[in-house]
């Protein structure tokens, strides 16, 4: 049978269960958009900017069983999207990037948008695919999807030339999609080695990351069997509920909250699952990892990269954790409930929160009070989408996340502006639960116009814009050593004007007294399908444990001469102003 390339691409995406595509039609993909418009199962969504489209696709992939898919044009469309593609690549998030290509059936050079797309994409995708004939389209898209979703997930790039989209060719019998099986289990010897260490442990602890996103039941059972405290990475901070008595928070080293530092102080066996021990997760590598480290990850390249593992097990946590749990239960009885440990964790958490409550915010919004009000106004399963900045660590330290996979945040790529569009992807993934976005005024300026997409599609998202007039995470890092803040002070933005422009409702929280009323009003608007933008006069004068800890960790690494220079500069600038 004869089919156009656009029809074949649509068929492949329908087979894969893709529900949405994101992008902007252009010269090299109008045929594909016309076909997608005929689909009964795929909705092509127009975005304001391809960068926003990529972040939307990322948010959808993180919180649903479908893979976020871009349909963009080459050159500007692809380069605009590259930040979102890069975020997905470093954060281990699957994504399909389908890019129209220049015509390959004509001899002319310097066509519109002509560039080496594959060279550009190789550094931020797992693989790139160049389709040369119609019969390649379906199997190649299937192979790309398999690559994106197996092993450590990530984005893949597919170039589909415009002429193949337009014209029909004989393709024969079309394949149907067969989902790949889960990876194999670990060897018995590896599991036995891990169990042997855990049996001998006096103070075991768990450190869990994004790789455990579908393993809450097994994580809870492991922690309870061992009576081990559980810390998470930043990306994994919604993998273990904050109201579990063994949850201690994000991180466990110098940059962690007191509950985590205390609970991990005597750790003699660490079970790390689905984490790379990357810079943010370790507070700039400021954690003390015991020699008896059990490291489980789907990507073998992470083993021994930063901390040597006594036992390294390559595999999918969905397979390995049930294996380990079964072996552990057979090898040792469950530890008695450690009431002293649980009471200490609860007391440390409460004391830390009280330190925030006691802080004088001088009429502005106290972060702890804000997050307590937000938590009280939303069900446990509500989704929190967080941007990059000082507020990232406020959320990680002060916002109790109670449901697995109910919070997402950019991590290793750390793209500011991520959260506005990613919240759209989150709402498409979870249309029946509230979605709240936490973003700073700097990040909001980057992508706020993407809220038009939420308005157009009746997606009731609440955007909380933390306004302090600075790029505060970096401004704080500048203020200590430099006593100045070059290029981190922001010009004022009329947030209410932005809300009017994009069709969102607007609310303002000027102080703690406004919290409950304004959050309730924003939630009510969101229920109607209209986005809401809430300007929050946040107080950033108290630093997070993460910020203080990272500064201390990095300062300790300086040589004596480097320390002297840094201290001398601080003193001189404090005196001279």
Of the residues 344, 367, 398, which one is the last residue of a structural domain? Answer: 344
Q: What's the whole-number mean pLDDT along residues 502-518?
A: 98
Query: Is the same domain home to 417 and 530?
Result: yes
- Say if CB 415 and CB 443 are below 8 A apart: no
Residue 349 lies in a domain: no
pLDDT score at 276: 96
Residue 474 lies in a domain: yes
Query: Is the same domain home to 298 and 439?
Result: no
Distance CA(24)–CA(29), nearest Å, equals 9
Q: What's the whole-number mean pLDDT along residues 275-287?
A: 96
Query: Is the same domain home to 337 and 447?
Result: no
Tell me how long the chain is.
Answer: 577
| pLDDT greater at residue 566 or residue 491 | 491
Residue 43 lies in a domain: yes
Query: What percent of the chain has a predicted confidence (pLDDT) above 70?
Result: 100
Of the residues 344, 378, 404, which one is the last residue of a structural domain? Answer: 344
pLDDT score at 491: 87
DSSP 109: S
As given in the structure block, the two tokens for residue 293 are: 């480290």
Instruction: Give the bridge partners for 128, in sequence order.
Output: 157
Q: Are strands 168-170 and 2-4 parallel, antiparallel or unpaired?
A: antiparallel
Query: Is the same domain home to 556 and 513?
Result: no
Query: Is the same domain home to 541 and 552?
Result: no
Distance CA(408)–CA(217), nearest Å, equals 20
Query: Is the same domain home to 22 and 121?
Result: yes
Residue 262 lies in a domain: yes
Domain with 313 in it: 188-344
Distance CA(113)–CA(78), nearest Å, equals 10
Q: What is the pLDDT of residues 1-34, one digit of tens each?
A: 899 999 999 999 999 999 999 999 999 999 999 9
Would you place residue 577 in the very low, low, confident or very high pLDDT band (cuts 50, 70, 90)?
A: low
Query: Is the same domain home to 476 and 403?
Result: yes
- Say if CB 263 and CB 344 are below 8 A apart: yes
The contacts of residue 22 (CB under 8 Å, 6+ apart) are: 44, 45, 47, 53, 54, 56, 57, 68, 69, 70, 71
pLDDT score at 571: 76
Query: Is the same domain home to 329 and 389?
Result: no
Q: What's the whole-number mean pLDDT along residues 77-87?
A: 98
CATH number, residue 221: 3.40.50.1220
Residue 351 lies in a domain: no
Residue 442 lies in a domain: yes
pLDDT at 324 over 90: yes
Residue 181 lies in a domain: no
Q: What's the whole-number mean pLDDT along residues 182-191?
A: 96
- Say if CB 571 and CB 272 are below 8 A apart: no
pLDDT at 185 over 70: yes
Alpha helices in 358-434 (DSSP H): 367-376, 390-398, 419-429
In whole angstroms, how far apart are CA 110 and each of 101, 103, 454? Answer: 13, 11, 37
Residue 141 lies in a domain: yes
User: Which span out of 180-184, 191-195, 480-484 was modeled with the highest average pLDDT?
Assistant: 191-195
Query: Is the same domain home to 438 and 501?
Result: yes
Please count the other Cβ atoms lying within 10 Å of the Cβ belonging to residue 377: 17
Query: Is the same domain home to 423 and 526?
Result: yes
Please give the helix or strand (H or E) that residue 155 lies within, else none: strand 155-161
Query: Is the same domain home to 126 and 38?
Result: yes
Q: What is the pLDDT of residues 467-488, one digit of tens each?
A: 988 777 777 777 777 777 888 8
Q: What is the pLDDT of residues 88-132, one digit of tens each?
A: 999 999 999 999 999 999 999 999 899 999 999 999 999 999 999
In whole angstroms, how far apart are CA 493 and each of 77, 134, 446, 498? Answer: 28, 50, 12, 8
Distance CA(546)–CA(554), nearest Å, equals 12
CATH number, residue 53: 3.40.50.970
- Say if CB 234 and CB 228 are below 8 A apart: no
Distance CA(297)–CA(316), nearest Å, equals 7
Query: Is the same domain home to 371 and 430?
Result: yes
DSSP 3-state percent helix, strand, coil across the chain (nearest 5):
45, 15, 40
Would you place residue 65 in the very low, low, confident or very high pLDDT band (cuts 50, 70, 90)?
A: very high
Would you place residue 354 in the very low, low, confident or very high pLDDT band (cuts 50, 70, 90)?
A: very high
Structurally, the chain folds into a number of domains equal to: 4
pLDDT score at 245: 98
């Amino acid at each position: 049978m004869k089919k156009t390339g656009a029809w074949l691409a649509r068929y492949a995406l329908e087979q894969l269960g893709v529900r949405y595509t994101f992008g902007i039609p252009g010269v090299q993909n109008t045929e594909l958009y016309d076909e997608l418009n005929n689909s009964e199962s795929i909705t092509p969504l127009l975005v304001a900017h391809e960068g926003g489209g990529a972040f939307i696709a990322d948010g959808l992939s993180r919180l649903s069983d479908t893979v976020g898919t871009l349909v963009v044009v080459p050159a500007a469309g692809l380069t605009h999207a590259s930040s979102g593609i890069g975020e997905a690549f470093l954060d281990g998030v699957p994504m399909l990037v389908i890019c129209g290509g220049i015509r390959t059936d004509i001899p002319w050079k310097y066509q519109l948008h002509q560039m080496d797309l594959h060279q550009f994409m190789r550094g931020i995708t797992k693989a790139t695919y160049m389709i040369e004939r119609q019969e390649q389209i379906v199997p190649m898209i299937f192979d790309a999807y398999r690559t994106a979703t197996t092993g450590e997930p990530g984005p893949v790039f597919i170039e589909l030339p415009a002429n193949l989209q337009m014209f029909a060719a004989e393709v024969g019998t079309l394949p149907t999609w067969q989902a790949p099986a889960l990876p194999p289990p670990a060897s018995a010897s590896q599991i036995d080695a891990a169990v042997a260490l855990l049996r001998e442990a006096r103070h075991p602890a768990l450190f869990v990351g994004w790789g455990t996103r579908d393993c809450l039941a097994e994580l809870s059972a492991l922690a309870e069997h061992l009576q081990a405290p559980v810390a998470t990475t930043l990306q994994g901070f919604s993998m273990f509920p904050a109201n579990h008595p063994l949850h201690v928070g994000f991180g466990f080293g110098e940059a962690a909250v007191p509950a985590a530092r205390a609970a991990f102080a005597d750790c003699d066996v660490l079970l790390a699952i689905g984490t790379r021990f990357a810079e943010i997760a370790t507070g700039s590598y400021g954690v003390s990892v015991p020699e008896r480290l059990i490291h489980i990850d789907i990507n073998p390249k992470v083993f021994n990269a930063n901390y040597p593992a006594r036992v390294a097990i390559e595999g999918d946590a969905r397979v390995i954790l049930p294996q380990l749990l079964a072996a552990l239960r057979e090898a040792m009885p469950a530890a008695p409930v450690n009431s002293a440990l649980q009471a200490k964790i609860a007391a440390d958490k409460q004391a830390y929160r009280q330190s925030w409550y006691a802080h004088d915010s001088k009429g502005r919004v106290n972060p702890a009070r804000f997050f307590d009000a937000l938590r009280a106004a939303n069900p446990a399963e509500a989704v929190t989408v967080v941007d990059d900045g000082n507020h990232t660590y406020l959320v990680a330290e002060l916002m109790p996340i109670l449901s697995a996979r109910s919070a997402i945040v950019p991590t290793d790529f750390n793209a500011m502006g991520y959260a506005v569009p990613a919240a759209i992807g989150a709402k498409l993934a979870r249309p029946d639960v509230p979605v709240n976005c936490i973003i700073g005024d700097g990040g909001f300026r980057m992508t706020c116009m993407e809220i038009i997409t939420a308005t157009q599609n009746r997606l009731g998202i609440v955007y909380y814009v933390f306004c302090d007039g600075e790029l505060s995470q970096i401004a704080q890092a500048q203020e200590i050593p430099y006593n100045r803040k070059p290029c981190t002070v922001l010009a004022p933005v009329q947030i209410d004007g932005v809300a009017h422009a994009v069709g969102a409702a607007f609310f303002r929280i000027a102080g703690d007294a406004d919290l409950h009323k304004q959050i309730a009003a924003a939630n009510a608007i969101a229920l109607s399908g209209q986005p809401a933008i809430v300007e929050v006069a946040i107080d950033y004068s108290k630093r997070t444990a993460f910020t203080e800890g990272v500064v201390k960790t990095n300062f300790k690494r300086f040589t004596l001469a480097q320390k002297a220079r840094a201290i001398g500069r601080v003193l001189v600038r404090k005196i001279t102003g």
